[in-house]
Amino acid sequence: MSMREQFERACEVIPGGVSSPVRAFGSVGGTPVFIASAAGPRVFDTDGRAYLDLVGSWGPALLGHAHPDVVAAVQAAAARGLSFGAPTLAEVELAELIRTRVPAAEKVRFVSTGTEATMTAIRLARGATQRPLIVKFAGCYHGHSDGLLAAAGSGLATAGQPGSAGVTAAAAAQTLVLPYNDTTALAAAFDRHGDRIAAVITEPAAANMGVVPPAPGFNAALRQITAKHGALLIFDEVLTGFRVGPAGWWGLENTAAELDPDLFTFGKVVGGGMPLAALGGPAAVMDLLAPLGPVYQAGTLSGNPLATAAGIATLTLADDAVYASVDAAAARLSTSVGAALEAAGVPHRVQHAGSLFSVFWGEAPAAEPVRNYAQAQAQDPRRYQAFFHAMLEGGVALPPSAFEAWFLSAAHDDEALTGIEAVLPQAAEAAARVRPEPRPVPVTPPKAAKGMVSLVGGGPGDPGLLTLAGADCLAEADVVLYDHLAPYESLQLARPGAELVDVGKLPRGEFTPQEDINRLLIEHARAGKRVVRFKGGDVFVFGRGGEEWEACNAAGIPVQIIPGVTSATSAPGLAGIPVTHRGLSQGFTVVSAHVGPESPRSTLNWEALATNATTLVVLMGVKTLPEVCAGLVSRGMDASTPAAIIHKAASPDMGVVRGTVSTLAQLAAEAGITAPAITVIGAVAGLDLA
């Protein structure tokens, strides 16, 4: 069966024919090579052909493939049992080995993948600080958990994707993405959001957008800024840990305790090629994990005995001689690669981080060092495509992406390096034959270019509930149309000089007709302006967002939706009233009572609402409250059902009036309750958790 036939067979049962996207050769073209076995510096495909390997299973093969002592350790562990779901001494021994190498990791928790390690580290940081936001750097890859896929490198850079479908706006909004090596941007982010940032996560030496080392003092600045603001610093050493040195990048750069992060994540080498990863840090932080603390994490296969056996054997064998050998091999090969490309006239730049290196292709990186993801993306990966296939044809397997590090091992001896170097000239010539991509001719936009409209949901009455995406929209707006339910304090986030237009529908009967609001949105957008329609709550929860979207769409105006927090749940929550409770109410219904149950214009089934035994949340029902309450009782609701009305939620003069469905209307009138107010009817209204 040919390689192509094997790939077609795989595509029938596996999405894309692969179990991890970059393996599909999508960046370099052609058919993926199916590997049957590996030994030392070589891998062997299913046809029996050998390749000198510079992928190294994406990092774990520090000692070379199938090191006899590591294989023997795994075989011995397998003979004792594959998985126990119980503590083992092997976990303890491996954790002690890690702590010996990295004393700052006082305690260690084992998981199965790097993604799981970083996901847990972030949950732990949020649990430790009680803050929601995470800072990451564009181009740094920390696994595929939802909040970390924005502007990631590696596989996502290869596919040219800025994120991933299936990641919600709410999840993405919890992550601030900044340029790598930019301390000014980091300081600005903390000036704006410092009391809400739980942690900064970074690759201390980036190697998932190609190899981009930290600028001098960058990691130290991360430590200083996070410590100043009470945020945690997470070093993601899944790739660099125990590969670039006995203590990873931390060991190379750390000269004083001031650089100790609050958490580490480890993977790749720590498991010796088996599915194993870890997170570690000071005991005070790590002991917040269950079962000692409130931050939950669990895994049936965590600390698997085969994986820990491989990890112990690998770290035990990885002595100073191994690291010296890998460093020397990487220095020799990277020099040879650069010389071959120079001789062939290929514009390029080779960058290093310890024993990791990669090549950036084209005039832009040749002119200046690559320091961030934007500069990494400016390379010409077509040259790498030609280089890659020439090397593969010559029996050398490279990472199938220009955005990956090259990995050497202690098994790459002189014979292996000489074999690789022999193929470099022909591969460099193949790269040289690729013509530079023509630069697009700039097109001058028409003078009457249309702007766009953003329908932004605010946190009803509370600027702290405004999403980051909503805040960014305000900061870029030319015109903001707002109503009286929008959080006024958030208007200060609008771009200086932006026009602020009050289109509030006032409770005394004065209002701006919806048709006029639609017209204003369209007119400003047609004038080329960025227009924000700033709502009090969610765009679509009893707002006119649907009508505004339809009007703009009919006029050909681009519209984007930035969801907001609905007052239907936030107002009760601020008042200490949950809308659901396992023992009291297993659901809630939100209704508009701008017309009451006796009005012929009502479209609600009030009989069902009166008897469905869930929480009823009533919006726009202050004037109709007597009719609503009486109508529910007359239709079968128990007159003693708890009820509460929340007045001016989130404002300094917020008030809560409590009673029953039969008494609430009178109590609200006596208290002088006016709009805006939200009514909660049901058993939960009897709770007071504030």
How far apart, in whole angstroms, are the C-alpha atoms of residue 429 and residue 420? Answer: 15
Do 133 and 249 lie in a common domain?
A: yes
Do 258 and 286 lie in a common domain?
A: yes
- Residue 82 counted as domain residue: no
pLDDT of residue 156: 42
Do 392 and 512 lie in a common domain?
A: no
Spatial CA neighbour of 411 closest among 318, 335, 337, 336 = 318
Given a contact cutoff of 8 angstroms between Cβ atoms, the answer to whether 109 and 98 are in contact is: no
Do 327 and 232 lie in a common domain?
A: no
DSSP string, 251-293: HHH--SGGG--SEEEE-GGGGTTSS-EEEEE-HHHHTTBTTTS
How far apart, in whole angstroms, are the C-alpha atoms of residue 316 and residue 62? Answer: 12
Mean pLDDT of 42-68: 97
Which residues 6+ apart lie within 8 Å of 547 measured at CB? 514, 518
The domain boundary residue, chosen from 512, 533, 565: 565
Catalytic residues: 483, 505
- Residue 442 counted as domain residue: no
Whether 445 shows a pLDDT value over 70: the answer reads no
How far apart, in whole angstroms, are the C-alpha atoms of residue 17 and residue 3? Answer: 12
Place of tokens 């020439």: 390
CATH number, domain at 457? 3.40.1010.10
Q: Which stretches within 301-413 are classed as H helix? A: 305-317, 320-343, 363-367, 373-377, 381-393
b/e map 241-250, b = 16+ CB within 10 Å: bbbbbbbbbb
- Residue 598 counted as domain residue: yes
pLDDT of residue 419: 98
Q: Considering its fold, how many domains does the chain have in total?
A: 4
Do 221 and 268 lie in a common domain?
A: yes
User: 3-class DSSP state for residue 528?
Assistant: coil
Do 264 and 369 lie in a common domain?
A: no
Do 462 and 541 lie in a common domain?
A: yes
Strands 615-619, 655-660: pairing is: unpaired
- Residue 446 counted as domain residue: no
Q: How many residues does the chain have?
A: 690
- Residue 349 counted as domain residue: yes
Peptide bond into 676 cis (omega under 30): yes
Task: Centre a 10 Å sphere on the Cβ of residue 509 and count the other Cβ atoms it contains.
Answer: 6
Mean pLDDT of the chain: 89
**What are 568-620's pLDDT values in tens digits?**
888 888 888 888 887 788 888 989 888 889 888 888 898 989 988 899 999 88
Do 194 and 309 lie in a common domain?
A: yes
- Residue 517 counted as domain residue: yes
Do 230 and 145 lie in a common domain?
A: yes
pLDDT of residue 518: 86
- Residue 73 counted as domain residue: no
Amino acid at 429: E
Whether 12 shows a pLDDT value over 80: the answer reads yes
How far apart, in whole angstroms, are the C-alpha atoms of residue 200 and residue 283? Answer: 19
- Residue 84 counted as domain residue: no
CATH number, domain at 37? 3.90.1150.10
Given a contact cutoff of 8 angstroms between Cβ atoms, the answer to whether 153 and 376 are in contact is: yes
**What are 234-277's pLDDT values in tens digits?**
999 999 999 999 999 999 998 655 789 999 999 999 999 999 99
Do 298 and 340 lie in a common domain?
A: no
**Residue 360 belongs to what H/E stretch?**
strand 356-361
Q: Taking CA 163 as the corner, what is the angle to CA 160 and CA 164, rounded to the nearest 5 degrees?
A: 105
Given a contact cutoff of 8 angstroms between Cβ atoms, the answer to whether 665 and 679 are in contact is: no
CATH number, domain at 212? 3.40.640.10
pTM (2 decimals)? Answer: 0.66
Share of the chain above pLDDT 90, in %: 61
Confidence of residue 364 (pLDDT cuts 50, 70, 90): very high
Helix, strand counts (H, E) of the chain: 23, 23
Parent domain of 32: 3-65+320-432
The domain boundary residue, chosen from 538, 565, 592: 565
Which residues 6+ apart lie within 8 Å of 256 measured at CB? none
Do 136 and 224 lie in a common domain?
A: yes
Spatial CA neighbour of 491 closest among 518, 455, 466, 520 = 466
How far apart, in whole angstroms, are the C-alpha atoms of residue 416 and residue 248? Answer: 25
Which residues 6+ apart lie within 8 Å of 138 measured at CB? 151, 153, 177, 178, 179, 180, 372, 373, 374
Do 654 and 592 lie in a common domain?
A: yes
More confident of the two residues 418 and 521: 418
Amino acid at 199: A
DSSP string, 614-635: SEEEEES-STTHHHHHHHHHHT
The domain boundary residue, chosen from 296, 317, 338: 317
